Every structure is written in structure tokens, then in C-alpha cells.
A = this chain, B = another copy of it.
Amino acid sequence: MQIWSTLNNQQQQNLLSRPAMADNQKLSDIVSDIIEQVKYQGDEALLALTEKFDGAKLTSVKFDEVSLEEVSGLISAKVKKAIDQAYTNIKSFHQAQYPQDVKVETAPGVVCELKHAPLASVGLYIPGGTAPLPSTVLMLGATAQVAGCARKVLCTPPNKDGQIASEIRYAAKLCGIDEIYLVGGAQAIAALALGTDSIAKVDKIFGPGNSFVTEAKQQVSRIPAGPAIDMPAGPSEVLVIADKDANPVYVAADLLSQAEHGADSQAVLVSDSEALIEATKQQVSAQLATLSRKDIAQQAIQHSRYILTGNIEQAFEVSNSYGPEHLIVQIENARESLDKLTNAGSIFVGQWSPESAGDYASGTNHVLPTYGYARNYSSLGLADFMRRYTVQELSYLGLQNIGDAIMDLADAEGLDAHRQAVALRLQSDLCAENKGGNAS
């Protein structure tokens, strides 16, 4: 346990620092080599790399999906119900985010509009590994569906038999994902970015992944005219603010939920109660022993941090300074603190709001800025699957109204043709019959 007020500025900063993300030249070289292979050998490279990394010998990366009815027969009724409920809630929350177009007449005869359109094609990456992640399919897929993206492409690595989990297939089907490709890792990202004979390239790539996937996303996002990506990656993290009345059983469970994600997960408890901190530590030890992923959680817990503050306001300051991906507030009148908590990806209010609610089923998106990026990147939402563009229409009167301003600014910036484009129109008699026309 660290007592916040006894630390100097530098020590406080160190306590809140994240593990360094080292510049790994070897990783970068491996990934750029994979991208080159996909660029020049296309599907052939995808099949070879899938055999090499996933042990699956495929003849095509395209996965031929069956009907929703057939896929739903492959999973248990319990899991189907869970996925259905999560899907409904995620859809409901993201539908409510649908943006309004804006139309303003900024000056008489000068109409400016902000319009929104779905991205035409999106690539959704779903990691493989020991457990399937249908929740991530829902977070990305349902949001893309609500946005109205015409092409939704899912890439995920197959197992040795060339199969993918039925839970992923069912979630994808619910979200209207019609293209599934059995390819993972950096090669999947390269295919989504550059296109191959089988996989047409996409406009934006979303989703979590291992260090090869995140490095590949970074690299392809720098290709001129290449795809956009969702956000920079970093290890997952939670900060819990708790007071003396918080339940240490719940606090410990929330810290461990984060810890079991990975050995590099960050779990931070900030409290103004030493008793709560001590009780939580004991609970963490007790609960840890029961977890199937206890080895991973144990490693993460070893570098967890317990910070004692002089009062709860100081705890808010610590949290704002850290800027956690997940922020859980288990204090009296938690909602009242929201205005003071300015820097987090997603905030969980009160004792009945565990992080796992947002990870799975409440409706909020679990793709969140981490590693301090909460301060300058947004939680994933509908806006990330759409683009904004503007429209303007001036009438002759409108151009008259702002013509002098345009011409004088063009003069100030030394751009003659900009001035001329206005001057020639206002001087002209060629279209006299149209001058009375409106902007509409």
C-alpha cells in the first residue's frame, strides 16, 4: 500500500506509470515482412501463413457459413440466450447514438450542413487462442450493423481442423456479417488493408489482438490512402475508487476480473480507507486461489497498486491523473462524483456495476482507450463506424453577403484565384436570370 500524500510528484507519477511499451524492432520487421508477403503473394501467402502459425491446411480462406437456424443449433440454449440478450442491449445503446445531421444558415443565403454516412466497408478482427470471444464480435459487429456499413468482414484464425467456434459464428450471423475469413495475425490485417483475390480491402480495421496484430494495424494505417484503424492498443486496466463502506468482496472480484485478462493487466485500487484496502487485499488472495486462470491473474496482481489517499476528493485526482480504461466507483452517492471524474474510458457507478457487466451485456462497448489514451481517444461507439462530411450551398445573395470577406481574406493570404472565383461570379452578367435564385 502506498500513502499518496507522502509521495513527491515524481514518485506519484512513477506509481501511476504504465509498463513501458518497448519499441520492438524485431517484431516490427517480422510484421512488415508478413505484410510484404501478403502484398505480393496474396491468398497464397495467407494459406501458407495459416498453415505455419495455426497448423491448419486450408484450400481457401473463405468460410462458407450456413443459415442462422443451422448455426444456432450448434450452441447451447444457455449461451444462445446470453448472446441474444447482450446483442439486444448493445444494439439498443448504439442505436441511441445515431447522429443527427446538422443544417444551419450561417448568413442569409449561406446554408452549411454536416452529414453522416456509414463507412462502406469495415474489417473486424477477432483473436483466436484458447477461448472464443463472441462478446467482441457483438461489440464490433452490432455497432457496424447499426451504423449501416454495407460490407462487414470478419477475420479470425482457425483451429488445426480449420474450424472456428460456433459462438463466434452465431454472434457474427446475428450481426449480419456475411463475409468470414479463416485467417489471423498480421496476415489478416494485411489482407484487410491491401486486399487479395479472396478478400477485398476495407476502409477501416477494428479489433483487439496480440502484439503482431496491433503492430500490423499500426503499420497498415500508415500506408498512403490505406485503412483507418480504431485506436492505439495497450494492456487492459481498471482503477477502483472505494470508500470505507465499499464491499471488499466486490472490490477484489473487480480487480481480479481485470487481472485475469493478461499478465500485463493493470489493477489499481484507490481508497481513503486503510481498512478497506487491507480487507480487499485479503479477499484478492482468497478469491485468486479459486480461479482457473490464477497463474495469469497472479502475475497481474503482483504489480497491482493499492493507494491510500487522505480523502475521497484526492482519490478522484489520482484517477483523473491515471486516466483508466475502466473506472469503478464504489462509494456513497457514487453518481454525484461523476462531474469530477473527467478522464476514463468507461465509468461503472456503484456497487452493482461490475466491470464484467460492461464487458459483456449492459450495452456499452467494451472496446475502450487504455494506456492513458482515455484523455485523447474516445470509447468505441457508433461514430467510429461512420464518417462526417459537409455540404454547402450559397445563393447569389449568399455569395454577395460573404463575398467581401472571402475576397479580403484571399488577399490577406495572397491567393488570387480564390478571390477571382468570387469576383468573376459577382461581376458576371452571364447568368443574370439566376441571380435571384435561392440556396435551395
- By a beta-carbon cutoff of 8 Å, the part of chain A in contact with chain B is 18, 20-21, 78-79, 81-83, 85-86, 88-89, 92-93, 96-97, 100, 102, 104, 106-107, 110, 112, 114, 117, 119-120, 130-135, 167, 203-204, 218, 222, 224-225, 227-228, 232, 234, 247, 249-250, 253-254, 256-257, 259-261, 287, 290-293, 297, 334-335, 338, 342, 344-365, 368, 371-379, 381, 383, 387-396, 398-399, 402, 404-406, 408-422, 424-425, 428, 430-431, 434, 437, 439-440
Q: Contact at A390–B358, with CB atoms within 8 Å?
A: yes
Q: In whole angstroms, how far apart are the Cα atoms of A241 and B360 in the complex?
A: 48
Known: A250-B425, A396-B352, A405-B360. A89 touches B106 (CB 8 A): yes
Asked whether A420 lies within 8 Å of B256 as measured between CB atoms, the reply is yes
Check A346/B260 contact, CB under 8 A, given A20-B224, A293-B416, A377-B228. no
Which residue of B372, B379, B389 is within 8 Å of A374 (Cβ)?
A: B389
Q: Do the beta carbons of B117 and A398 come within 8 Å of each other?
A: no
Copies assembled: 2
A415: nearest residue on chain B (CB-CB)? B260
Q: Is the CB of B224 within 8 A of A421?
A: no
Q: Tell me, rounded to whole Å, the shortest Cβ–Cβ distance linking A52 to chain B.
A: 26
A374 to B83: give the CA distance in the assembly, Å: 35
B346 touching A247 by the CB < 8 A rule? no
Distance between A255 CB and nearest chain B CB, rounded to angstroms: 9
- The minimal Cβ–Cβ distance linking A413 to chain B, given in whole angstroms, is 5
Partner of A388, one of B82, B372, B381, B421: B381
Question: Is A352's CB under 8 angstroms from B410's CB?
Answer: no
Complex Cα distance A349/B110, Å? 11
Whether the Cβ atoms of B97 and A402 lie closer than 8 Å is no
Across chains A and B, which 6 residue pairs bring their CB atoms closest together, nearest first?
Answer: A106-B363, A82-B408, A131-B414, A349-B393, A354-B421, A378-B388
User: CB < 8 Å: which of B225, B361, B389, B419 contacts A402?
Assistant: B361
Instruction: Give A363's nearest chain B residue, CB to CB.
Output: B106
Q: In the bound complex, what is the Cα–Cα distance between A363 and B134 (angstroms)?
A: 44
Q: Are B417 and A287 in contact (CB-based, < 8 A)? A: yes
Which residues of B have CB within 8 Å of A287? Answer: 417, 420
Within the complex, the shortest CB–CB distance from A80 to chain B, in Å, comes to: 9
Contact A417 B224 (CB under 8 A): no
Instruction: Given contact pairs A119-B375, A291-B417, A352-B395, enumerate 7 new A-B contacts (beta carbons under 8 Å).
Output: A93-B106, A134-B413, A247-B430, A346-B389, A347-B392, A350-B393, A379-B389
A375 touches B120 (CB 8 A): yes
Q: Give the residue of B120, B293, B349, B415 whose beta carbon is less than 8 angstroms from that of A257.
A: B415
Bound Cα distance from A356 to B426, whole angstroms: 13
Instruction: Please report the C-alpha to C-alpha distance between residue A328 and residue B56 in the assembled complex, in whole angstroms.
Output: 51
Query: Which B residues lie within 8 Å of A20 (CB)?
Result: 224
**Could you pull out 22 A-B pairs where Cβ atoms are within 8 angstroms?**
A20-B224, A79-B408, A89-B106, A107-B362, A131-B413, A133-B413, A135-B409, A225-B371, A228-B376, A293-B414, A338-B391, A347-B391, A347-B392, A349-B393, A354-B425, A356-B422, A357-B399, A362-B392, A362-B394, A377-B387, A378-B389, A381-B390
